[in-house]
Amino acid sequence: MSATTAAPPLGTPIVQPIHHSAAYAFDTLADARAVFAQRAGGYTYARTGNPNVAALEAEIARREGGAGAVAASSGQAAVALALLTLTGPARDAHAVVSSRLYGGSVDLLTDTLADTGLEVSFADPRDPREWEDAVREGTRVFFLESIANPLTELPELEAIAQIAHRHGAAVVVDNTVATPHLYTPGEHGADFVVHSATKYLAGHGGPLGGLLVATGSFDPTNDPARWPWLTEPRHRWGGRSAVETYGAERAVLGVARCKYLNDLGPCLGATIAHEILQGMATLGVRVERQSATAESLAATLAAHPAVERVHHPASATGRQRELLRHGGYRGAGGVFSVDLAGTPAQVEDVVDSLRLIRLAANIGDVRTLVAHPASMTHCRLTPEQFRASGITERTLRFTVGLEDEAELTADLFRALSVIAEPAPGWDTAAGRGTAVAAP
Ligand SMILES: *Cc1c(COP(=O)(O)O)cnc(C)c1O
């Protein structure tokens, strides 16, 4: 007999196996009872937990320097979980939110959550006084983006977070565009960070996913009467409070997972969690290359006669430039926008003339994409919200992928020739921002 037959095989998988199981078995009823009653840790059913999902949650919490995380089926679901947990049960719930928000977040706040009684005020993320003026007694949450989508404004996060905390509100930051590689909101006053993992974290334009991270700074016991659904005993938690059940810094995550994720069901599947985690392994190299290409393309386009204005943190001046340099940002990101110098019909022709750059409402893909926010991601804003957003009919948003920059420049210049051609002598083929006007 060979000596090898009895020994277990040596070697363990480098990549975590996919645990495709809806339910989890227990050896004894006593074990099952303890886990279902949340007296012992463990998995019951994959709607509220799965080993691959848990690995993704641990990884985003580590990258954001947080206390823990909850994964959801999309970025929308993660934002909804955060806002429901922080405002849902309050009778007088009010949120102050950035006037420069992703369109889906605006729909959620002003339609679906407004139906549940949430009241919302909009404030400019560059002007902390607007946030201070918008605060009311019922304000439970401030919500803003660390790099705004699509015009890439950087917020005065530290000043805004101080205002929120002075008034007992929690600060939620959507860190989708920046990613934790470029910015960690928890170091600048955010209590919670949300991500559309669909974008840079997954990185390849495939799966949808969302993440809610607690940075660990929010403690509802500092003002228990303001957060009774977290601090008072509830039947749901076996007659204890959420704080007693999950601890002060994880109470919001516990309620988000075991109440809202469990009851509403927008959970992430094991295969998708696995795919997002694989994407996150290359996050840094992708984001650095995409940021560098975006910075270079934005600088090139800023000098193009068909372009009136570019929006990218690296092209900004004044206070925005100061925030990029000294506000904790480690790069400017792969999203930039341009306001074209043509008529709306010419803008449409430019979009339709792009070949390499595809027209699609996504960011963070390895492929470069263009969007027309007024017709696409932000098409449901009211005229007033549209004016406050800074977007115009002539604004195009680009999300830079990993293609060769010279090919992107050539595609852009060919399409922009609908409006204007650069002066003779421009070196469009060289890329890397070397295009300069002839003397
Ligand atoms: C895409 C996006 C979302 C929503 O995420 P989904 O995964 O598409 O549901 C939220 N915030 C920002 C900034 C986004 O770009």
CB 125 within 8 A of CB 144: yes
Same fold across 29-271 and 283-420: no
Least confident span in 194-198, 267-271, 413-417, 424-428 = 424-428
Q: Is 339 in the pocket of ligand 1 (CB under 6 A)?
A: no
Q: Is 176 in the pocket of ligand 1 (CB under 6 A)?
A: yes
Topology of domain 283-420, CATH:
Aspartate Aminotransferase, domain 1 (3.90.1150)
State the pLDDT confidence band at 422, using cuts at 50, 70 and 90.
confident
Taking alpha carbons only, the member of 53, 32, 54 closest to residue 44 is: 32
> Does an H or E element contain 71, and which?
strand 68-72
Q: Is 73 in the pocket of ligand 1 (CB under 6 A)?
A: no
State the pLDDT confidence band at 434, using cuts at 50, 70 and 90.
very low
Q: Is 102 in the pocket of ligand 1 (CB under 6 A)?
A: yes
pLDDT at 384: 86
Whether residue 426 is predicted with pLDDT greater than 70 in this model: the reply is no
Whether residue 196 is predicted with pLDDT greater than 50 in this model: the reply is yes
Q: What is the DSSP string of 138-171?
A: TEEEEEEESS-TTT-PPP-HHHHHHHHHHTT-EE
Phi and psi at residue 164, in whole multiples of 5°? -55, -50
Hey, what are 106's tokens?
């605006």
Domain spans in the chain, listed from the N-terminal domain onward: 29-271, 283-420
* Average confidence (pLDDT) over 289-296: 98
Q: Whose CA is nearest to atom 5 of ligand 1?
A: 75
Question: pLDDT over 90 for what percent of the chain?
Answer: 87
* Average confidence (pLDDT) over 306-324: 96
CB 231 within 8 A of CB 224: yes
Query: How far does the centroid of ligand 1 lie from the alpha carbon of residue 4, in Å?
Result: 52
Residue 165 burial (C-beta neighbours within 10 Å; 0-12, 13-18, 19+): middle
Map tokens 């193009």 to a residue.
Answer: 304
pLDDT at 428: 54
Q: Where are the alpha helices (DSSP H) in 29-74?
A: 29-36, 51-64
pLDDT at 427: 60
- Ligand 1 probe mutation, 149, 177, 196, most atoms within 8 A of CB: 196
Whether residue 433 is predicted with pLDDT greater than 50 in this model: the reply is no
Q: Whose CA is nearest to atom 8 of ligand 1?
A: 75
Q: Is 152 in the pocket of ligand 1 (CB under 6 A)?
A: no
Map tokens 């840790």 to a residue.
Answer: 41
β-strands 210-214, 68-72: how paired? Answer: antiparallel
Q: Report the alpha-carbon distance of residue 327 to residue 142 in Å, rounded.
A: 19
CB 133 within 8 A of CB 188: no
Residue 224 burial (C-beta neighbours within 10 Å; 0-12, 13-18, 19+): middle
Q: Whose CA is nearest to atom 6 of ligand 1?
A: 75
Phi and psi at residue 68, in whole multiples of 5°? 165, 175
State the pLDDT confidence band at 382, using cuts at 50, 70 and 90.
confident
> Does an H or E element contain 72, and which?
strand 68-72
Topology of domain 29-271, CATH:
Aspartate Aminotransferase; domain 2 (3.40.640)
pLDDT at 72: 98
Which is the closest atom of ligand 1 to the Cα of 177?
13
pLDDT at 431: 44
Whether residue 435 is predicted with pLDDT greater than 80 in this model: the reply is no
> Does an H or E element contain 106, and which?
helix 103-107
Residues 232-273 have pLDDT tens digits of: 999 999 999 999 999 999 999 999 999 999 999 999 999 999
Q: Report the alpha-carbon distance of residue 168 to residue 165 in Å, rounded.
A: 5
Whether residue 429 is predicted with pLDDT greater than 70 in this model: the reply is no
Q: Is 291 in the pocket of ligand 1 (CB under 6 A)?
A: no
Residues 162-177 have pLDDT tens digits of: 999 999 999 999 999 9
CB 72 within 8 A of CB 49: no
> Does an H or E element contain 174, and which?
strand 170-174
pLDDT at 386: 85
pLDDT at 201: 98
pLDDT at 437: 42
- Ligand 1 probe mutation, 81, 98, 100, 102, most atoms within 8 A of CB: 102
Taking alpha carbons only, the member of 103, 109, 76 closest to residue 377 is: 103
- The angle at the Cα of 334, spanning 413 to 56, to the nearest 5 degrees, equals 145
